[in-house]
Structure 1
Amino acid sequence: MSKHKTVGLDLAKSVFHLIGSDGERRKLKRSQVLRYFAQQEKSVVVMEACGSAHYWGREFKALGHDVQLLPPQHVKAYLRGQKNDYNDAQAILEAALHGRIRTVEVKTEEQQVQQAVLIMRKGLVRERTRLVNQTRALLYEYGVSIPKSLSRFRTQLVEQLEETNTSLPSRIREMAQRQYPRLVKLDEEIAWCEAQIQQASKQDEDCLRLRQAPGFGPIVSYAFKSWLGTGRQFTCGRDASAALGVIPKQHTSGDKDRLMGITKRGDAYLRSLIIHGARSVVRQANKKDDPLSQWINRLVAKRGVNKATVALANKLIRIGWAMVARQESYRPIAC
């Protein structure tokens, strides 16, 4: 238990509510928050890990306070009575005093910049996918079938637009022509994001170290490092795997152990990137004879490709945690 005062702070856009372990209750406007904490003795400031929490965490640390961020889904269990801002702050305080909830590490400004690039790329890729699927479906209604491949879509769309003897109605042809510049612009924006990721991953020592491991390309290593930070919030690699939801759900009663599918907790986008990286390793494993590939091939034969892929993703997260948290290089191990 900390000897310093603990403060539960409910974040908001304009008005913040706090409750201290000494019974203090206070409501602060946004402009008053830093001024108030600058006048306080060193305290433990506890917040939910939600929007702007990492910004405020950095600001409070700069003022000399200790900061804890708690996952909102775990704080909810401590809420008593009806939901209001003071009750939310009280729940945050009680969750912190309980001391059994794993805290979220306060992200640096650089980590948040890295995640912003990933979020932007993710949104652009989704927008491009929607545009391609919509245009493909539109043309399909008029007898033009374009394969799912993105490169073939670009090629065949240009061919359809350049073809003079076509059965496409003029207005549909005009609509497709107006979509093509949007596709080109989205390609340019995605390429810019990926160039930023490539450049940053070449300059970051942890990313370079992660890229030694199978399944960790530039984007996966960059995303994993921006999520993991130093890795000190986890005591072992299994905790990192659990945080990303690739361990089995458990439903155990008495002496009956029942394991089900993976929990799918945490960052779904990062989990999908790691699983895609693992899938590429599984796809090439039957052409190799190293211990990891042999383990993958045995698992594929016993459990199938999909389960082997998730099992490998679990292993890669643990390996990645060890490489970042312990500053170790990748060492192939016998599986």
Structure 2
Amino acid sequence: MGNFTSALLTSEEISPGIDNKTDRNDARGIAQMMRVNLYRPVHVKTLTSQKRRALLTARRVLQEKAIAIENDIHGLLRNFGLKVGLVGKVNFEERIRELVEGYADLTEIMEVLLSTREKLRDEFGKLHKKLLDLTRNDGICQLLMTIPGVGPVVALAFTSTIDIPQRFKNSKAVGPILGLTPVLNQSGESKRVGRISCCGDAMMRTLLYEAAQTLLTLVKKWSWLKAWAMKIAKRAGKQKAIVALARRLAVIMHRMWSDGTEFCWTKDNLPKAA
């Protein structure tokens, strides 16, 4: 046993383990990757896009926190048998105060939560106004907003996510980057198409999904794009149609941005990549 241990120590001293996490081993690994070309260049977004992204993120954080407080208020009052019910944002505070009237302790707690919610809503409104001002003075955002279902938030998020449209070889390459294309699992004779990959920018993917849902369910004006999505919905279901529409919206938005053309409501003069 002693001889075996001695042999191991001698071997370790002669040839140190390459699996150890050291700066020297990291440098050797990076050099090897560079030598065999196992790396990809990473796009660094422009300062303008980074600032817009920060605005979108801060706006979303405030919105989510305000909604979380509203949900917590619902849950706290439900424990006392007080049901808020369906109520709009404007009448929310009035409804809560009406429910806790006569409960001194609950009133004190709810007033703190309501004041916090009001502060979050006010600050959210300031950031949202800043977002609207940016899109109002941005020609690309105004161009993208000619697409039905695409509003200021989606347009600004798309421009800050894509940053430079020329970095994509074609418009169809935008879908995979945003995780809106199906995953292919292939082994031998087996070939299965799964769900979308969900890689890339989660915020942009969510906004495109919401825009597609709006176009499919709320937009009344008919277009070739809505007709295309309706056919998919009849054949494969509403959810798959919304995902497919979200992917196509990304392709169309990129093509419009690259060409500088407005959305075509009919298939006349429709870009080939769309």
Answer yes or no: same fold by TM over 0.5: yes
Q: Deviations over 1:39-76 (max 9, x none)?
A: xxxxxxxxxxxxxxxxxxxxxxxxxxxxxxxxxxxxxx
Q: Distance in 2 between matches of 1:121 and 1:260?
A: 33
Deviation at 1:331, TM superposition (A): 2.7
Deviation at 1:233, TM superposition (A): 2.4
2:114 corresponds to 1:176: no
Equivalent in 96, 100, 104 of residue 157 of structure 1: 96
Q: Deviations over 1:125-182 (max 9, x none)?
A: 1211221111111111111111355525334124335x4xx3x3x2222100111111
Matches within 5 A, 1:89-108: 91=29, 95=33, 99=37, 103-108=41-46
Paired position in structure 2 for 1:278? 212
Identity %: 26
Q: 1:218 to 1:160 in 2, by over 3 A?
A: same
Counterpart residue type for residue 208 of structure 2: I
Matches within 5 A, 1:104-143: 104-143=42-81
Equivalent in 236, 242, 256 of residue 309 of structure 1: 242
- Matched position secondary structure for 1:260: strand
Q: Distance in 2 between matches of 1:212 and 1:226?
A: 18
Q: 1:123 to 1:284 in 2, by over 3 A?
A: closer
- Matched position secondary structure for 1:258: strand
Paired position in structure 1 for 2:124? 190
Equivalent in 220, 229, 232 of residue 299 of structure 1: 232
Deviation at 1:332, TM superposition (A): 3.6
Paired position in structure 1 for 2:6? none
Matches within 5 A, 1:75-86: 81-85=19-23
Deviation at 1:91, TM superposition (A): 5.0
- Matched position secondary structure for 1:252: strand
Length-normalised TM-score, structure 1: 0.68
- Matched position secondary structure for 1:241: helix
Q: Deviations over 1:161-214 (max 9, x none)?
A: 5x4xx3x3x222210011111111111111111111101111122111111112
Q: Distance in 2 between matches of 1:85 and 1:333?
A: 59
Deviation at 1:237, TM superposition (A): 2.2
Counterpart residue type for residue 191 of structure 2: D
**Structure 1 unaligned regions, length at least 5:** 1-79
Counterpart residue type for residue 157 of structure 1: I
Retained in 2: the 8 A contact 1:215–1:316? no
Retained in 1: the 8 A contact 2:223–2:266? no
Q: Distance in 1 between matches of 2:149 and 2:93?
A: 29
- Matched position secondary structure for 2:195: strand
State which structure, 1 or 2, has the greater radius of gyration over its C-alpha atoms.
Answer: 2
Paired position in structure 1 for 2:251? 318
2:267 corresponds to 1:267: no
RMSD: 2.4
Q: Normalized per residue, which structure has more strand?
A: 1
Length-normalised TM-score, structure 2: 0.82
Q: 1:245 to 1:81 in 2, by over 3 A?
A: same
Count of residues paired in the alignment: 250
Q: 1:172 to 1:88 in 2, by over 3 A?
A: farther
2:151 corresponds to 1:222: no
Q: 1:284 to 1:91 in 2, by over 3 A?
A: farther
Q: 1:257 to 1:108 in 2, by over 3 A?
A: same
